[in-house]
Homo-oligomer: A and B are copies of this chain.
């Protein structure tokens, strides 16, 4: 028996009912000084946000973003059948502590910075498969909680190489439903773990770029679409170097990414003025750019068809210390204002 929604090796075509009916974004001070600052629902001026630790502040961001997204969808928490979320912190505590008071049936994810796309993929399948009417999908990151876990104590003030990215402080959450006025999630392309041997944890854009290119190629092959089908193809978060590598890798496969290609890590900050080197990163980066900026543009109609490609670097500090390379993954979700 054939799985009737499969297109090719990695892509699924949904039946047409899954739509994004609400979203919310909460972002930090630096994000509130960047080029898309105006799109966020809440700006948090101080890293602790009234909590005693950065991790607790990040948890609060997930909780508040989820509650706000549900409220903006005109729905109640009790109507949510499932919540799909995760984060960067060990054992995803910012998620589990953040969402515990919401009391929504929960599936925990780990996709590193691909989590927003992973949560949308699985949430969309849950609705399209008839398992849920409404689900919440999202993630978060926090510059300070990530920095001290993955790199150095904040007080150390270590120098950052120019290939490094700046972890976004923020949380984005989206509510998917089987009823509404769109936009629709029409296709989901599942990523394969890709590892081209990059070992430098300060150059994750280069590590993740091959995964992004692999998933983009699979998406175009499986759907028969070309890059110019979309108003926006957006990876998150490869930064300046990684997104340039994606362009080159695609070109080597005879696929040209035009001016409609961008990266969430380039959109959220002014790279020069804000001194963030290669751009933004962290689960929260693509989450707030999608839930804050892109979904609003779809609603306004300035964008009609978007391919959202979350990218994640799947290493930890132990694997880096053990001399391992950085495996990466990318998941793609097609979001369109009209059904085919």
Q: Are A133 and B3 in contact (CB under 8 A)?
A: yes
A269 within 8 A of B: no
Q: Are A96 and B314 in contact (CB under 8 A)?
A: yes
Across-interface contacts of A104 in B (CB, < 8 A): 192
A interface residue count range (under 10 / 10 to 19 / 20 to 34 / 35 or more): 35 or more
Q: Are A109 and B107 in contact (CB under 8 A)?
A: yes
A125-B125 contact, Cβ under 8 Å, with A96-B193, A316-B91: yes
Q: Are A324 and B97 in contact (CB under 8 A)?
A: yes
The distance from the CB of A124 to the nearest CB of chain B, in whole angstroms, is: 10
CA distance A53 to B61 in the complex (A): 37
Chain B, residue nearest A331 (CB) = B107
Chain B, residue nearest A17 (CB) = B1
Chain B, residue nearest A5 (CB) = B130
Across-interface contacts of A96 in B (CB, < 8 A): 193, 314-315, 327, 329
Interface residues of A in 303-326 (CB under 8 A from B): 314-319, 322, 324
A55 within 8 A of B: yes
Interface residues of A in 34-75 (CB under 8 A from B): 52-53, 55-56
Q: Are B109 and A109 in contact (CB under 8 A)?
A: yes
Instruction: Determine which of B1, B105, B127, B191 lies in contact with A133 in the assembled complex, contact meaning CB atoms within 8 Å.
Output: B1
Interface residues of A in 118-152 (CB under 8 A from B): 118, 121-122, 125-133, 149
CA distance A108 to B3 in the complex (A): 22
Show the binding face of A for B, using Cβ within 8 Å: 1-6, 9-10, 12, 17, 52-53, 55-56, 81-82, 86, 88-93, 96-97, 99-100, 103-112, 118, 121-122, 125-133, 149, 178-179, 190-195, 314-319, 322, 324, 327, 329, 331
15 residue pairs from A and B, CB less than 8 Å apart: A2-B133, A3-B127, A3-B178, A6-B130, A6-B132, A86-B110, A91-B315, A93-B324, A96-B314, A96-B327, A100-B193, A106-B191, A107-B111, A107-B121, A108-B112
